[in-house]
Amino acid sequence: MRHGGFTTLFYKEVLRFWKVASQTVAAPVLTALLYLLIFSHVLEGHVKVHGISYTAFLIPGLVMMSVLQNAFSNSSSSLIQSKVTGNIVFVLLPPISYLEFFAAYVAASVVRGLVVGAGVLFATFWFAPLTFAEPIWILVFAVMGGAILGSLGVIAGIWADKFDQLAAFQNFLIMPLTFLSGVFYSINSLPPFWQQLSHWNPVFYMIDGFRHGFFGISDASPWLSLAVVSACLMVLAAFTLNLLKRGYKLRN
């Protein structure tokens, strides 16, 4: 039987999205599938990246984009819903430390990201010859990317007082970061200015490293990507933990 602050909160967060899996899992898989059908229909045959067919190149990008967006969604929407409806008190009254709180929300976000990612992979890999050259990178970047976006989701969920503030966070930060990261193209195909800019986008490294796991080739070295992503995760985790420790918005 599960018990303890972390275990129960983690379990509750997973159960929460699983109970509405048609919205939280099936819908994003369908969206990714639509992207694949449209983009590959338009671009297949015209574009090759690193000598790989466009559709094969696109699939890992879509999988990782789904992992990231859903990890963010999970923690942020759960927190804002709990705050708006007031049932956040059920989590604030028990003896749960801020570390357990953080870990549980982020871990559940990673699980949601991985479940949706696996769903997208399963739905799309029929469409192109896909290889799994160095699968450990696939797992490492999926988990770390999910954790980073899960952590961002915790920040957004705590900061936002209303649903439209959360939507702004999502539309003006998360969406641009994920779309302008090389999901749909190799950044080497961009003009130099945009290439430079992309190198400042941490999501670029998540997707590039993730893709490396499939093809064994990538724009940046996977080790560099790992370094950037790890640093990013540590900074965000420290920032989020500090918010939670101070009780920012939650205990005031």
Residues that bind another protein (CB under 8 A): 1-5, 7-9, 11-12, 15-16, 19-20, 82, 85-87, 89-97, 247, 251-252
Burial class (CB in 10 A: 0-12, 13-18, 19+), 93: exposed
Closer to another protein by CB, 21 or 190: give it. 21
Closer to another protein by CB, 91 or 138: give it. 91
Closer to another protein by CB, 78 or 181: give it. 78
Closer to another protein by CB, 51 or 252: give it. 252
CB 241 to another protein: min, Å: 16
CB 74 to another protein: min, Å: 13
Closer to another protein by CB, 86 or 191: give it. 86
Residues β-bridged to residue 47: 44
Give helix 98-124 / helix 222-246 axis angle, nearest 10°.
140
Closer to another protein by CB, 26 or 180: give it. 26
CB 167 to another protein: min, Å: 21
- Residue with the two structure tokens 């899960």: 150
CB 212 to another protein: min, Å: 38
CB 97 to another protein: min, Å: 8
CB atoms within 10 A of CB 125: 16
CB-hemisphere CA count at 13 Å for 173?
A: 14
CA angle 192, 193, 197 (to 5 degrees): 115
The DSSP line for 107-151 is HHHHHHHHHHHHHHHHHHGGGS----SSHHHHHHHHHHHHHHHHH
Specify the 3-state DSSP secondary structure of 44.
Answer: strand
CB 112 to another protein: min, Å: 14
Task: Show the tokens assigned to 26.
Answer: 């099936």
